[in-house]
Amino acid sequence: MAAIKMSREGARELIGHEGVVLTRYLDTRGVWTLGVGHTAAAGDPDPAGFTGALTLTGAIDLFMSDLERYEAAVARAVTTPLKQHEFDALVSFHFNTGAIATAALTRALNAGDRARAAEQFMGWKKPPEILGRRRKEQALFADGVYANGGRAMLYPASPAGRVDWTRGRRVSLAGL
């Protein structure tokens, strides 16, 4: 597949799924994370040793740097030409699951069955809280629907890394 990059609209959509935390926090698996899903596996900075706070712009810049490896993985795994919205949905899926190379949706897509590929987004439904995201990724892939409106939730975290999911506020990603 020729080199393709996630669109700005797609990046805003993915950030809307992930949310933003400007200080380090422990994700649902207990992994130190920063900004928009950045972990030590993505490179510097290592969230475990990060004691400051990012700006929203800094968190977005870090995310955009991390995004390159997910774009490349999707480009390697998918052998059929993609529309921009399909690529954006697949990068979002891979950013969350890390499974683009092994997913049934990729096999269906590479076999030329886009309808089956779209159905397969819903095969990834754990934890149950992820279902809303999967439905949005599925709609983006199948119909080109960018559902988050260019906005994301910004959440605070305690120094111990616990995110207060009840105190989030919606922010615009229009500058992205």
Helix (H, G, I), strand (E, B), or coil: what is residue 69? helix
Place of tokens 């697949």: 90
Environment class of 147 (CB within 10 Å of its CB; exposed 0-12, middle 13-18, buried 19+) = middle
Q: Which of 175, 1, 8, 6 has its CA nearest to residue 90?
A: 6
Q: Report residue 127 CA to chain centroid gap.
A: 16
Alpha-carbon span 66 to 44, nearest angstrom = 10
Q: What is the DSSP string of 79-147?
A: -S---HHHHHHHHHHHHHHS-TTT-HHHHHHHTT-HHHHHHHGGG---SGGGHHHHHHHHHHHHH----
The catalytic residue positions are: 18, 27
